[in-house]
Amino acid sequence: MEFEGAEDFGGVPDEFQRLWTPHRLVYIQEGTQPQDCPFCAGPGMPDEKALIVHRGETAFALLNLYPYNSGHILICPYRHIATYDQATPEEVAEIGSLTQQAMTTLKLVSGAHGFNIGMNQGAVAGAGIAAHLHQHVVPRWNNDSNFLPIIAKTKALPRLLGEVRDELAKHWPK
């Protein structure tokens, strides 16, 4: 028997669209315990596995596992602190410097036209991981919005996280 297309296989058609996201499999398979902090665990892993793009003295940059756009970077201090007012002057300075470096690198690598930059302080403010301070650097492009986020509550990401991490790490300012 020769198969021509998907209609030749079992299954019942439904109204759902499928968006394949193989980079999320590691999160499903390995998961984290509720008490684990992924931003504390990350620096103890290889950069590729933790999606770390750059390591500084007091802070580091890594890709968001659930990005809003391709190249969505998080800047985190190594210390486990919850809010910006708990950061030392050295951490504040390096978080700022790494944010500038992230912007420069994203412009170079992906031609970003603009950025959303910010910190959600506390769960009530929308922080997904409220216990560990992190700043979002989200690249934006002219015409990067489409109907998927609004209608389907879905973001289409054109590149896999590992590819993006490798490219950003390669071009990060020395």
In what order do the strands lie in the sheet containing 73-77? 52-55, 59-63, 73-77, 135-140, 114-118
Angle at 156 between CA 169 and CA 151, to 5 degrees: 150
The first and second tokens of residue 161, run together, are 């996280």
Question: Catalytic: 134?
Answer: yes
Distance, CA of 72 to CA of 137 (rounded, Å): 6
| Residues 66, 138 contacting (CB under 8 angstroms) | no
22: three-class secondary structure by DSSP: helix
Please identify which of the residues 72, 134, 136, 171 carries the catalytic annotation. Answer: 134
Distance, CA of 123 to CA of 44 (rounded, Å): 26
The catalytic site residues sit at 134
